[in-house]
Structures are given as C-alpha cells and as structure tokens.
C-alpha cells in the first residue's frame, strides 16, 4: 500500500499519522471489548497472543492431538467437526469473524481431542498458549478471572449448540444461525451447513425456499 510523505525530509506528516493512530485506537477498543479486558490490560495481553495465517482447508486441530492453546478467529471461517462410526464428517460448530474456538475439554483435561478444526476459507487467527495464560494468572488475580471467563465463553458456545440439537427443529436451527451470524450462509458450503443442521443438502434447499416466501 503506498504511503503519503510530506516534503520535509521524507517524514510522515501529522495529518497522515492521525488517521492511523485513530484506527489503531479503534482496533484496540474493539478487541479489548471482545475479550472483556480494559484497554490498559489489553496492551499487556496482546503481547502474549500468537498470530497465525491459515489457508483454506488447512487443519488447526486433528482428532487425537492434544490441545495446549485457545484460539480467537479474527477473520475467516472455521468448522469444528467429528467423524461418526460410519466415517461421516458431522459439523459441530461453524464460526466466522470474532469468535473464540478450541476443544476446551481436551485443553482442560489434557486428553486427546475427538474433534477436528478446519479452515473453510483463509483465516487470520490469534492463539494464546496454556503456559502463557497460566503465567499471567500468577501476576494478577484479574487474569485468573479473565481465563475463567474465556473458558466459560467457549464452553457456553458448545452447550448452546447441544441445546439447539435437543430442542430446535432443523428450520429453527437455521433461522437461529442466520440471526446470530447473517454472513455465515455466504461463507459456509451447503454440505457443511446441512451437516450442522442434521439434515441433507436437499432438505436445506427446501428450508431456504420456504423461508424466502416469508
């Protein structure tokens, strides 16, 4: 991206710096709010985050691996799935921008994961390693509470998914998904969406046609 320079020895003018500074403040404010951290502590926390770019179809976790970090999806789309006894891939979670992700059960119990996490499109991701997070816990009780809240967020997302499967029919699940993440159906292939809803791609097409008449 080209930069604009002033004529004073190649230095960037204050008028150019101001929009950049304001943009960075907006970004800090956004992610501090998403993580539930005040901005001063965000400056500490972001130094512990590991940035990673993930290409489409790349795996972040495979069944049988151990989980020693928690993740945050900045931008992109992920699917968390498992393989049933017949070899079918069953989508458990579908996530887009600004989402926490990970197998918290494996993370907490230090047991092999039964899940797979795969990028559906190019993704930008942050990770924080378990060792780093536990190190933060020792510096301030605030971070211990923060870690608890982050873990609860991941756990509650999984619990909500289970409750949807138990109490909602496929059309209700689809409507709930659209209300929660309207852009999801544009990013997620129909075969993954239908698997997530527990129906065939043909049944999903019928639901979409029926909804379009509302």
- Domain of 87: which CATH number? 2.60.120.10
Q: Give me the pLDDT at residue 100, please.
A: 87
Q: Give me the pLDDT at residue 13, please.
A: 40
Q: Give me the pLDDT at residue 214, please.
A: 67
Q: Examine residue 21 and state whether it is found in any structural domain, yes or no.
A: no
Q: Are 91 and 195 within 8 A, CB to CB?
A: yes
Q: Give me the pLDDT at residue 15, please.
A: 40
Q: How many CA atoms lie within 13 A of 182 on its CB side?
A: 1
DSSP-assigned letters across all residues of 108-165: HHT-----EEEESS-EEEEEEEHHHHHHHHHH-HHHHHHHHHHHHHHHHHHHHHHHHH
Query: What is the count of structural domains for the chain?
Result: 1
DSSP secondary structure code for residue 13 in this structure: P
Q: Examine residue 132 and state whether it is found in any structural domain, yes or no.
A: yes
Q: Examine residue 10 and state whether it is found in any structural domain, yes or no.
A: no
What's the rounded Cα separation, in Å, for the pair 77 and 84?
A: 23
pLDDT in tens, the chain (214 residues): 433 323 334 333 444 333 334 344 666 788 888 888 888 888 888 899 999 999 999 999 999 999 999 899 999 999 999 998 989 899 988 999 988 888 888 988 999 999 999 999 999 999 999 999 999 999 988 888 888 887 787 778 778 888 888 888 989 988 888 888 887 778 888 899 999 898 898 998 888 888 877 6
Print the domain residue range for 113: 38-167
Q: Examine residue 15 and state whether it is found in any structural domain, yes or no.
A: no
Q: Give me the pLDDT at residue 25, please.
A: 63
Tallying the residues shown for the chain, one arrives at 214
77-83 and 50-54: which strand pairing?
unpaired
Q: Examine residue 64 and state whether it is found in any structural domain, yes or no.
A: yes
Asked whether the CA dihedral 30, 75, 62, 164 is positive or negative, the reply is positive
Q: Give me the pLDDT at residue 55, please.
A: 96
Q: Examine residue 27 and state whether it is found in any structural domain, yes or no.
A: no
Contacts of 28 (CB under 8 A, 6+ apart): 39, 42, 43
pTM, two decimals, is 0.80
Q: Give me the pLDDT at residue 65, please.
A: 96
Q: Give me the pLDDT at residue 208, please.
A: 87
Q: Examine residue 22 and state whether it is found in any structural domain, yes or no.
A: no
Q: Examine residue 9 and state whether it is found in any structural domain, yes or no.
A: no
């Amino acid at each position: 991206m080209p930069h604009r320079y002033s004529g004073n020895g190649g230095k960037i003018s204050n008028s150019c710096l101001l929009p950049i500074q304001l943009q960075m403040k907006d970004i800090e404010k956004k992610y501090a709010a998403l993580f539930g951290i005040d901005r001063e502590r965000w400056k500490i926390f972001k130094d512990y985050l590991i940035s990673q770019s993930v290409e489409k179809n790349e795996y972040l976790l495979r069944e049988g691996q151990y989980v020693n970090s928690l993740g945050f999806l900045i931008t992109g789309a992920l699917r968390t799935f498992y393989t049933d006894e017949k070899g079918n891939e069953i989508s458990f979670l579908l996530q887009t921008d600004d989402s926490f992700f990970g197998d918290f059960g494996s993370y907490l119990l230090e047991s092999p994961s039964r899940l797979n996490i795969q990028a559906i499109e190019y993704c930008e991701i942050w990770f924080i390693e378990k060792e780093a997070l536990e190190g933060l816990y020792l510096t301030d009780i605030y971070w211990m509470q923060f870690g608890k809240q982050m873990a609860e967020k991941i756990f509650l997302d999984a619990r909500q998914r289970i409750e949807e499967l138990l109490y909602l029919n496929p059309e209700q699940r689809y409507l709930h998904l659209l209300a929660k993440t309207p852009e999801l159906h544009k990013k997620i292939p129909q075969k993954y969406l239908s698997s997530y809803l527990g129906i065939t791609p043909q049944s999903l097409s019928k639901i979409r046609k029926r909804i379009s008449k509302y």
